[in-house]
Structure 1
Amino acid sequence: MKLRFLLSCGLIATTLSFTACKSKPKDADLKTAIEQKISALQLNDVTVNVSEGVATITGTYPSEDVKKSVDEQVKGIKGIKDVVDNATVAAAPAAQAPVVINADDALIKGATEVIKQFAGVKADVKEGVISLSGEIKKTELPKLMAALMALHPKKVENKLTVK
Structure 2
Amino acid sequence: MLLKKMLPAFIMATALAVSLPSCKSKPSDADIQTKVQTAIAATPGVSADVKDGVVTLSGLVSSDAEKTAVETAVNNLKESGVKSVVDNIEVEAAPAPAAVAPAADALSQGVADATKDFPGITATVADGVITVTGEIEKSKVQTLKASLDALNPKKTDMSQVKVK
Residue 65 of structure 2 is aligned to residue 33 of structure 1: no
* Cα distance in 1, alignment partners of residues 68 and 10 from structure 2: 49
1:47-126 equivalent positions in 2, closer than 5 A: 47-77=47-77, 78-101=80-103
Distance apart, 1:4 and its partner CA: 3.1
* Cα distance in 2, alignment partners of residues 63 and 127 from structure 1: 42
The aligned residue for residue 4 of structure 1 is 6
Deviations 1:65-112 (A, max 9, x none): 11111111111112112111111111111111212257xxxxxxxxxx
Distance apart, 1:8 and its partner CA: 2.3
Distance apart, 1:2 and its partner CA: 3.6
List runs of 5+ in structure 2 lacking aligned partners.
105-125, 129-164
* Cα distance in 2, alignment partners of residues 2 and 61 from structure 1: 68
Deviations 1:47-76 (A, max 9, x none): 101112111101111211111111111111
Distance apart, 1:23 and its partner CA: 2.3
SS at match of 1:73: helix
The aligned residue for residue 44 of structure 2 is 44
The aligned residue for residue 150 of structure 1 is none
* Cα distance in 2, alignment partners of residues 22 and 70 from structure 1: 29
List runs of 5+ in structure 1 lacking aligned partners.
103-125, 129-163
* Cα distance in 1, alignment partners of residues 16 and 64 from structure 2: 49
SS at match of 1:25: coil
Q: Provide TM-score, normalisation by structure 1.
A: 0.57
SS at match of 1:6: helix
* Cα distance in 2, alignment partners of residues 76 and 68 from structure 1: 12
8 Å Cα contact 2:40/2:73 also seen in 1: no
The aligned residue for residue 109 of structure 1 is none
What amino acid maps onto 1:44 in structure 2?
P
Distance apart, 1:44 and its partner CA: 2.7
* Cα distance in 2, alignment partners of residues 94 and 13 from structure 1: 67
* Cα distance in 2, alignment partners of residues 30 and 59 from structure 1: 19
Distance apart, 1:19 and its partner CA: 0.8
SS at match of 2:60: strand
SS at match of 2:17: helix
